[in-house]
Structure 1
Amino acid sequence: MRPAAAVPAFYAALVADYPESSEADEATDESSPWSAGLDVGDGYVLMPMQWGRAAEVAPRVIELAGQHGLVCFDPQVGVVHVPPALRASGALHLQSCVGLPVSDPDLETVERAVRRLSAENWFVILEDPSGRYVQVGNGARAGAAAGGYTVEFRDDSPERHYRRVLRDREQVVSVFADFMRDPATRPAGVAWEKLSL
């Protein structure tokens, strides 16, 4: 199905789950997650969502878009959610403490996630389909001193699990960029310490 042809079907499925409020009901209808009417055009649907409903509604919107072969762009965080049929083979999966998971993220999205680490948004994980991953935790929750980052890399087995505490956020960004280039190779530039689990 061509994207422009898929949009009406996506819109129909979307409003079946989350109806738009009529103008007469808008002031009193609290069941709708939309803060204004949906804007439907040739090849797109713009959805102004109530902030308090985003955690509940956004995952379903992304799922429906994927079912119709459409990408979904979240302008709040600058992330494009790619449907499974359009993802690259071996696509990585990104998860932050705050926000929705992102499949097949680009380098900019990964770097932005790492740079947004804070006391409240304290971890980021990037994983490939085989179970290899690199993850970082910020501060005391991750076992690092204030301002520190506990970074771990795990190859495909517990025997190849490594860790390092870093102080430089840009070095952490570099570790994630290395993993994106080649998940099967331990990221360079870090004196990794093997973990015994």
Structure 2
Amino acid sequence: MVWDEPVPIGRDQARATYLAVRRTRPVSGGDVPEVAKELPGEVTLYPGHVLVSMDLDTMDETSAQVFTIARAHGLVCYDPQRDLVHNVAPLGVYEGMQLHTGDGMIVHDPDLGLVNDVLATLSPQNPFVALVNFGRHFLQVSPGYELEYKENTLIRAMVPELAEVQRAFSEYATGDRSFLARHTWAQTT
């Protein structure tokens, strides 16, 4: 579901908005918002909100298109399947940075709140999360909180808790390399 919010919102607010809108009746007729004309999948209009339905087989590709279109229009996007909210900002410092997950999600220029929330979904169903700046460097993590960072060489560090992983990813996304000094890294072969 996509809609306008004046400031970034959290997952709880996005989920509550989505559920409240779903309890109302769709609208028909009248002016169709420009964003609804661009969105893939089956589109249902609600006052101030556009719901995009998609089949599970193409969900990852369709979701990526919806996120891109929503961002281009300055709209929030909530993914009820993954319980994740995509805000327009704040973004990291690397234009073109990509967020990849082990369950198939790819987001271009993810907002920092999304990155933080996605890290909490690490599980056997989502076995890694990576922030990638192709041709330059990346940071990824797998369950058990094994961080891997590659710029010139691949190095690994074990991190004790999710909060520290989230801190490292936030630092990486904002161009801060403090996480490199804070952990004990081993070069891999």
SS of the residue corresponding to residue 47 of structure 1 reads strand
Distance verdict in 2 for CA 1:8–1:98, change over 3 Å: same
The structure richer in strand per residue is 2
**What is the match of residue 149 of structure 1?**
145
My pick for the range that moved more, 53-62 or 92-101, is 53-62
Residues 111 and 10 (structure 1), Cα distance of their counterparts in 2 relative to 1, 3 Å cut? closer
Which of 166, 178, 182 pairs up with 2:159?
A: 166
Match of 1:100 in 2: 105
**How large is the Cα RMSD of the aligned pairs?**
3.4
Write the deviation string for residues 136-175 of structure 1: whole angstroms up to 9, x where unpaired: 112xxxxxxxxx22210011x3xx2211233422222222
Could you say which residue in structure 2 is the equivalent of 1:30? none
| Alignment pair present for 1:109 and 2:114 | yes
Structure 1: state its 5+ residue gaps: 19-32, 139-147
Residue aligned with 2:53, SS: coil
Partner of 1:78: 84
In structure 1, distance between residues paired with 2:157 and 2:131: 16
Q: When the two structures are aligned, how many residues end up with a matched partner?
A: 155
Within 5 Å, give how 1:1-16 maps onto structure 2: 8-14=33-39
Superposed displacement of residue 54, structure 1: 3.5
- When residues 65 and 54 of structure 1 are mapped into structure 2, their CA distance, relative to the original with a 3 A threshold, is same
Question: Aligned partners of 2:66 and 2:113: how far apart in 1?
Answer: 23
Q: Deviations over 1:166-195 (max 9, x none)?
A: 342222222212212326676331101112
For structure 2, the 5+ residue unaligned runs are 5-31
1:95–1:102 CA contact under 8 A, matched in 2:
yes
Aligned to 1:193: 186
Question: Cα offset for 1:61?
Answer: 3.1
With over 3 angstroms needed to count, the CA separation of the structure-2 counterparts of 1:13 and 1:175, relative to structure 1, is: closer
Identity, % of aligned pairs?
22
Structure 1 length normalisation: TM-score? 0.60
TM-score normalized with structure 2 length:
0.62
Deviation at 1:124, TM superposition (A): 0.2
Checking the alignment, whether the CA contact within 8 Å between 2:35 and 2:73 is kept in structure 1 is: no
Q: For the pair shown, which has the larger CA radius of gyration, 1 or 2?
A: 1
Match of 1:182 among 169, 175, 178: 175
